[in-house]
Amino acid sequence: MSQNPPETTLSDEQIRETVERILSAGALPPIVQAGHPALRQRAAAFDGQLSPEELDRLIALMRQVMHEAPGVGLAAPQLGIPLQIAVVEDQFDVDPEAAALRKRSPLEFMALLNPTYTPVGTELASFYEGCLSLNGLQAVVARPERVLLEFQVPEGSRVQREFAGWQARIVQHETDHLNGVLYVDRAQLRSLSSNAEYAARWAEPGIAKAREGLGFGDGPTALP
C-alpha cells in the first residue's frame, strides 16, 4: 500500500528553537539515524523561519558536519531539523575508471533551499549508494541519469539548473531527504550490503558482479 510521508509536526517556532539549540551547543551535532521521525516526515518549506544570519550559520555548520562525516551531501532533517535545506559538495579524488563509468565529476559547494527535481529524458543509471543516516550499509538505486533541479539560493532567488551523472544522483538523494524518503525506499533490497561485504566483494565501478551474485533486478523500485 502506498503511503505519503506525513508533514512535520513541529511548528515554525519549534523549528527555530531546534536550530538555535544546535547552533549554540558549541559542538558538531550528531547525524540522526534511520528511525528518527525527522527522516520520515516532509520537512517544512523554508520561508523565513530563520534570520539571514541564522541561516548562514546553519549552512556553515551543515557543511562542516558533511565534511567531518565525510560525505557529499547533508540535509537539515539529518540533524533533526525539519526544514527544506540541504548542502552538497563533491571534491573527493576517486578512481578514474569508476569516475568515468559513474560520470562523476567535482561538484562545487551549494546550499539548496526548497529543491524539487524533474527527470530529463528516460535514461536511468544504477549504482550502489549509501547514506550518513544509515551507517554501514549500501544498496543499488536506479535513478534518472539527468534531472532539472529548481531551488532557492540563500540570498532568496529561485534557480533552475540541470545536473547529470553522479551530481544528479547527489541532488536527488538530498532532495528525497527533504520529502521523508530514504534511499532504501528506492533501492533493490537484494543488493543491500554492509560496507565490509561491499568492500570485500562488490567494490568495482559497475554493478554487474553484484547483480549476478546477489540476484537483484534492473530499473527503479516503486516507493512503498
* Choice among 89, 174, 204, 212 that is catalytic: 174
Per the CB < 8 A criterion, the answer to whether 176 and 86 are in contact is no
- Catalytic residue check, 13: no
Per the CB < 8 A criterion, the answer to whether 138 and 198 are in contact is yes
Calpha distance 115→113 (Å, rounded): 6
Backbone angles phi, psi at 158, to 5 degrees: -100, 135
Per the CB < 8 A criterion, the answer to whether 186 and 141 are in contact is yes
Residue found by looking up cell 544528479 in the block: 168
70: preceding bond cis by omega (within 30 degrees): yes
Calpha distance 74→35 (Å, rounded): 17
Per the CB < 8 A criterion, the answer to whether 50 and 63 are in contact is no
Handedness of CA 67, 70, 72, 75 (dihedral sign): negative
Strand order in the sheet with 124-130: 124-130, 137-144, 187-194
Which residue spans within 24-106 are E strands per DSSP? 73-75, 85-90
Q: Catalytic amino acids?
A: 174
